[in-house]
Structure 1
Amino acid sequence: MGPVGAVVFPPQEFFTDQLWSTLPRSWQEALDGLNPPQLAALLLGMPAEGDVVRYRSVWPLTLLALKSTASALAFTRTPGFQTPSEFLENPSQSSRLTAPFRKHVRPKKQHEIRRLGELVKKLSDLTGCTQVVDVGSGQGHLSRFMSLGLGLKVKSIEGDRRLVERARRLDRELLHALEKEQRRKPQVAPTGPRRSPQHVVRWVEPAALCDELLLPLEHSPRGGARLLLTGLHACGDLSVTLLRHFCCCPEVVALASVGCCYMKLSDPGGYPLSQWVAALPGCELSYRLREGACHALEEYAERLQRAGPGLRTHCYRAALETVIRRAQPTLRRPGVQGIPRVHELKIEEYVQRGLQRVGLDPQLPLNLAALRAQQAQENRVVAFFSLALLLAPLVETLILLDRLLHLQEQGFHAELLPIFSPELSPRNLALVATKRPLGQAFSVLETEDG
């Protein structure tokens, strides 16, 4: 696979596997010594001014070709609306949601539930759905907005009983707040009927159809239920399971799914899904590439522009990996819970805390000279990670286009729509599908409501 195959996410093995030396010498010379703002502008394409955008030397054609190809082939992630306009007045409160719907909800989630909820409402109206099923609903923020804010009939399915119990408490709290607001402002008509979502505790298995998912909340006088399935960042196989229900079940007439955690897809079974991609030689995507597709290029590019000391974490974590493997060779890439204020720590202090986090003796003797030498390569580690992130949108495009082709091969109508601001929500592409043509109506789905 050439030099691209050497790129891994994240570069925890930068020192243990000598990853810098796996790059072509010409790439090393082009990237070596670039500071973070230069990497953001020259490699990741962020706007910049002055000396930042000047190349110190002619870059090798192979590196320029990779940069151009990754950008050209990746699906556009820029939504067709100004973002994040809803947070101009207050960065923590969406101006497009009323106060009761913002409570207990972080700005990122406020943006997500509003955008996906409004898309689902339009799609429901266009397809004549009688019920929305929110799968993997968590604490029910999306379900609450769709039901109590937009007037949809919603069933939410979540496997974690604790999350469902909290969702029901938040339902009651929101209903009380809306009723209180209505008494205070009786001239303001409610946006929809006061119908809470129906919460169901149920694990949806990847390999089997879920009867509960297909049961209607109530019988329609016009005949059988017409269901719309949705999932906000449905993790791993769950997003594939939604596709399977859409394809196999006549009751399901529409789908609006935003996937996440591609590294958790079953192999085989989760990718590839389409016959076309499956027939391509070398179509497999390694765990590390799928993991990389979940990283946030736009957010990281902004961090590079700011050149904050927090970028040091990559180098420190890679140095910690060398100490871990020397102490216990069979322990590789263990999860290290976030160590606060990394930029204020000396590298040996970080390593000691990291050893404790992974269950090793924090008082192990350390080679301070080796750690200092590794710290001196901080910019190389950041450059390598930036190179890896260049591929993240392209890998995500491969996964999502495979799903799109899978639906189209079966005669369904589907599109990928960037519905979230990628700066707020990196997994921002919604797979929208229907069983009858919508034509130009698809373009209405991603527009902003007035």
Structure 2
Amino acid sequence: MARSARWTNPTTAGHPAAGNAQGRGGDQPGLDYLRYRSVWPLTLLALKSTACALAFTRTPGFQTPSEFLENPSQSSRLMAPFRKHVKPKKQHEIRRLGELVKKLSDLTGCTQVVDVGSGQGHLSRFMSLGLGLMVKSLEGNQRLVSRAQRLDQELLQALNKMEKRHPKVVQRGPRHSPHHVVQWVSPTALCEELLLPLETSGQGSARLLLTGLHACGDLSVALLRHFCCCSEVVALASVGCCYMKLSDPGSYPLSQWVAGLPGHELPYRLREGACHALEDYAERLQNAGPGLQTHCFRAALETVIRHVCPELRRPGVQGIPRVHELKIEEYVQQGLQRVGLDPQLPLDLAALRAQQAQENRVVAFFSLALMLAPLVETLILLDRLLYLEEQGFYAELLPIFSPELSPRNLVLVATKTPLGQAFSILENEDI
């Protein structure tokens, strides 16, 4: 019998529309969206309660990552060479997922780990040079692969120096750098390179474990299909991301159960909203800082873009620093430049000022959207879990990362043989 993901009935504390800042209106003059002069409508309370009750828990089995108690920017659980060039968020992610993969590899007898969409190889380096796993890394961008190979050599040199200075601290023994391959993985066709064993593994037939850290859009679905179709793949540990980039149809829904639900369709807006940082926005609401105006400014920029270039829909706008220090017209000018449009276009300043005056309504709308975000993510991930279970495999969703550090914090773990209670120990902080 396949194991199901654990459901939760969380309290309402901590959710954006839950009234985290309810008691702060009196000491924050001028911030009308923090003042509640009447009881919330029962329909809104019921919606919030239902959304919270039906969503998978995002709370891991630890309160605060102990690795950052001494220094919020340096994980105490990673040796210094593994922290170089790696931001705290990524330090937390590679350690947690890497150690989960190591444990899962031991439990399933895997001979090789395949890191799909490996980017600059931070996870692959930790798994191979830090945990002793045989790792193949697949990445479609040649520039990123070249960068990963340079970082491999830099890390090896640092580890060798550390071993000479502190032989009792650094584990001795042969080190295997990850094997990097420039390879794009199709969401619809099997990738032969992914299934090839490493010559250095010294094994006959390979037993592969597939992993992907925030594999974007269809790439997460590709991992699931390789797991289901290929006898060589015996385990999976996948953390998805960028749900708005899923092919429709084709990558959602995957399971027969979700496909049979009336109204199961998820338009772009809902899938995009499920990728936002819920906990971060809740904190911003509590602090009631000027950063809350970002979404209002972005909405104003969108109206200008659609007026100037109607065919340019949903353009990716690179982050604009220190938004709260900019006038709205300055923000729009920088945004136009970032999407390849003329920043000196004449602007309707009166219209922009009128849109800026709607900031409180934008905050309220975005809070409602984020209240539903975990529920949308739950449906997408539940669909993937049921897709595996319908084919007789064993799967579970585990909140592996601190959501404050890494909002996409649910890892889909799957095996082809039952692990029983072993699933429950994979998410502990001390894996």
**Length-normalised TM-score, structure 2:** 0.90
Percent of paired sites with the same residue:
83
Q: 2:219 aligns with which of 238, 253, 257?
A: 238
Contact in 2 for aligned 1:149/1:192 (Cα 8 Å): no
Aligned partner of 2:264 in structure 1 is: 283
Shift of 1:47: 7.8
1:369 Cα deviation after fit: 3.3
Residues 256-304 of structure 1, C-alpha deviations (whole Å, 9 max, x = no match): 0000111111111100111111111221111111111111101111111
Query: Match for 2:402: what amino acid?
Result: S
**Which of 368, 377, 392 in structure 2 is aligned with 1:387?**
368
1:207 matched to 2:188? The reply is yes
Residue 444 of structure 1 is matched in structure 2 by: 425
Task: Report the Cα distance in structure 1 between the residues aligned to 2:301 and 2:57, rounded to whole angstroms.
Answer: 37
Is 1:160 matched with 2:134?
no
Structure 1 window deviating more from structure 2 (162-171 vs 314-323): it is 314-323
Residue 332 of structure 1, CA deviation: 4.1
Report the residue type matching 1:105 in the other structure: V
Alignment CA distance shift 1:284-1:189 (3 Å): same
- Helix, strand or coil at the partner of 1:439: coil
CA distance in 1, matches of 2:204, 2:313: 56
Match of 1:307 among 288, 310, 313: 288
* Partner in structure 2 of residue 216 of structure 1: 197
Distance 1:143 1:427 in 2: 19
Whether 2:152 is the aligned partner of 1:178: answer no
After TM superposition, give the deviation of residue 62 of structure 1 in Å.
1.5
Amino acid of the structure 1 residue aligned with 2:279: E
Compute the displacement of 1:333 (Å). Answer: 4.0
Alpha-carbon spacing, 1:405–1:245, altered in 2? closer, same or farther (3 Å): same
Instruction: Identify if the C-alpha distance between structure 1 residues 351 and 55 changes in structure 2 by more than 3 Å, giving closer, same or farther.
Output: closer
Q: Does structure 2 conserve the Cα–Cα contact (< 8 Å) formed by 1:40 and 1:305? A: no
Match of 2:48 in 1: 67
For 1:102, the equivalent position in structure 2 comes to 83
Q: 1:385 to 1:181 in 2, by over 3 A?
A: same
Matched pairs, number? 412
Verify the 8 A CA contact 2:16 2:370 in the aligned structure 1. no
The answer to whether residue 248 in structure 2 is matched with residue 267 in structure 1 is yes
Q: Select 1:43's aligned residue among 5, 17, 22.
A: 17
Distance (whole Å) between structure 2 residues aligned to residue 158 and residue 242 of structure 1: 13
User: For residue 196 of structure 1, what is the aligned residue in structure 2?
Assistant: 177
SS in 2 for 1:397: helix
Instruction: Map Cα deviations across residues 280-331 of structure 1 (whole Å, 9 max, x no partner).
Output: 1221111111111111101111111222212212212222333334444444
Q: CA 1:192–1:249 in 2, change beyond 3 Å: closer, same or farther?
A: farther
After superposition, residues 405-424 of structure 1 pair within 5 angstroms as 405-424=386-405
Per-residue deviation, 1:189:
4.8
CA separation in 2, counterparts of 1:272 and 1:386? 27
Deviation at 1:119, TM superposition (A): 0.1
Change (3 A) 1:180 1:436: same
Counterpart-to-counterpart distance in 2, 1:66 and 1:115: 34
Question: Please, which moves more after superposition, 39-48 or 265-274?
Answer: 39-48
| Bigger shift: residues 80-89 or 41-50 | 41-50
Report if aligned partners of 1:42, 1:55 keep a CA contact under 8 Å in 2: no
> How far has the Cα of 1:166 moved from its partner?
1.0
* Cα deviation 1:148-188 (Å, max 9, x = unaligned): 10011111111111111111111111111111001001233
Contact 2:254 2:384 in 1 (8 A): yes
Shift of 1:137: 0.6
* Between 56-65 and 196-205, the greater mean CA deviation after superposition: 56-65
Structure-2 separation of matches of 1:46 and 1:193: 52
Q: Deviation at 1:86? A: 1.1
| Structure 1 SS opposite 2:199 | coil
SS of equivalent to 1:171: helix
CA RMSD of aligned residues (A): 2.3
Residue 26 of structure 1 is matched in structure 2 by none
Structure 1 residues 329 and 232: alpha-carbon distance in aligned structure 2, compared to 1, 3 A threshold: closer
Gaps of 5+ in 2: 1-12, 27-33
Bigger mean CA deviation after superposition, 413-422 or 208-217: 208-217
Structure 1: distance between partners of 2:14 and 2:134: 45
CA distance in 1, matches of 2:24, 2:136: 54
Does the 8 Å contact 1:40/1:304 carry over to 2?
no
CA contact (8 A) 2:16 2:368 kept: no
Shift of 1:250: 0.8
Cα separation, 2, equivalents of 1:162 and 1:250: 32
Residue 154 to residue 330, structure 1, CA distance change in 2 (3 Å): closer
Matches within 5 A, 1:83-98: 83-98=64-79
* Deviation for aligned residue 1:55: 4.5
For the Cα contact (< 8 Å) 2:209–2:236, is it kept in 1?
yes
Q: Which SS does the other structure have where 2:402 is aligned?
A: coil
TM-score by length of 1: 0.86
Does 2:403 match 1:403?
A: no
Q: 1:367 to 1:431 in 2, by over 3 A?
A: same
Alignment of structure 1 residues 101-180 onto 2, 5 Å: 101-180=82-161
2:319 corresponds in structure 1 to 338
42 and 313 in structure 1: CA distance in 2 versus 1, 3 angstrom threshold = closer
Q: Give the aligned partner of residue 12 of structure 1.
A: none
Deviations 1:1-30, CA, capped at 9 Å, x for gaps = xxxxxxxxxxxxxxxxxxxxxxxxxxxxxx
Secondary structure of 1:391's match? helix
Q: Is the 8 A contact 2:220 2:240 kept in 1?
A: yes
Structure 2 vs 1, CA of residues 160 and 323 (structure 1 numbering), >3 Å: closer, same or farther?
closer
